[in-house]
Amino acid sequence: MMSSTSGIVLLVVYLGVCVESKLSYGCYGPPGSPCTKHTLSCAKGEVISLSDNLGVITFAKKLNTSSCEPVLQDECDTNSCCKPGDDSKPSDVMPVSEADKILIYNQCSNKESCTVTSPYKHNSDYNYLQYFYFCMLGSKVNNITDKQNTTHSRSGFLYFTGQTKPSSHLTCSCEVTSPGKINVISYFVNLSPDTCSRVKISSQNRQLVKCDHKGGALIFNKWLDQVKEAITIDFDDFSAKRTDTIWFEFGPERDKELNINCTGCIHINSGPALTPAGFKLGVVTAITIIIPLLITGRHL
């Protein structure tokens, strides 16, 4: 417990920016049962940064469950079994699985709010879940894909997700420089085995993120390194998967400035993204407009 407390302090110091920490609770129950959708949220203009290096997306068991009744849908926020209550400390906590953690990070990272399906552990009778996260200003989080040359007196942040615009063949780079040393902190890096080799994050030819033996890369909140030389993020013909995410903080030394210089991505989008609805529309168009035209054309 001691170490987690100091861990929180450490993280806030590293952030070097004004952030608000939050602890949210949600009811525990098998999928589909009442109150098993949980919403995490920040104020307008702020975004969620999960912080699970401390094991804080956890199942929790209440100390005193004598008053626990089955939860009803209209009492998700009020049912006393869904939060710690007077006895404040849970009697037992257990981190959620890595797969659940990835899902929650994917859905919530850098979003103003998100609603997640509560993780569930078969054959375990926990009472509630705890989500610990920070809220930070969204405008501080720069997109890797945008052309930019920005100077920061404190930490700078670079972000990429394959979720918003499915993009193919991205080629671009960002360079992060400072007159002093730079702390490199991962908030979340998730690259699939198919795409990891297309992304290079390095300083002086030293890779800061390495693709693992399965080919991908997965890093939650972690201080990675302190470097003296420029850091580059290179996308080389990178066709991102929806789950691909990169989120870094770059912290300069005190009183030193940080420069982020990005080329902006050149990308060949393979036409408008075909959502299932878009695809249906396309098929309907083909049947109702194009095919009759072809047939008419043939008759002319």
Ligand X SMILES: *[C@@H]1O[C@H](CO)[C@@H](O)[C@H](O)[C@H]1NC(C)=O
- For ligand X (CB under 6 A), the number of binding residues is 15
64 binds ligand X (CB under 6 A): yes
Min dist. Cβ of residue 97 to ligand X (A):
30
Q: Render 159-219 in DSSP notation, one character per residue.
A: EEESSSS---SEEEEEEEE-SS-EEEEEEEEEE-TTTGGGEEEEETTEESS---TTS-EEE
67 binds ligand X (CB under 6 A): yes
3-state SS, residue 62? coil
CA-nearest of 249, 193, 201, 252 to 218 is 193
Min dist. Cβ of residue 146 to ligand X (A):
6
Binding-residue pattern over the window 263 to 292 for ligand X, x denoting contact by CB under 6 A: x-----------------------------
Distances (CA, A) of 23 to 11, 38, 239: 15, 12, 36
DSSP lists the bridge partners of residue 223 as 185
164 binds ligand X (CB under 6 A): yes
Min dist. Cβ of residue 11 to ligand X (A):
22
Min dist. Cβ of residue 62 to ligand X (A):
9
Binder among 50, 116, 141, 219 for ligand X (CB under 6 A): 141
Binder among 2, 13, 32, 66 for ligand X (CB under 6 A): 66
Q: Render 96-137 in DSSP notation, one character per residue.
A: PPHHHHHHHHHHHTT-SEEEEEPP--TT----EEEEEEEEEE
261 binds ligand X (CB under 6 A): yes
In the complex, which residues of this chain contact ligand X (CB under 6 A)?
64, 66-67, 139, 141-143, 146, 149, 151, 164, 175, 177, 261, 263
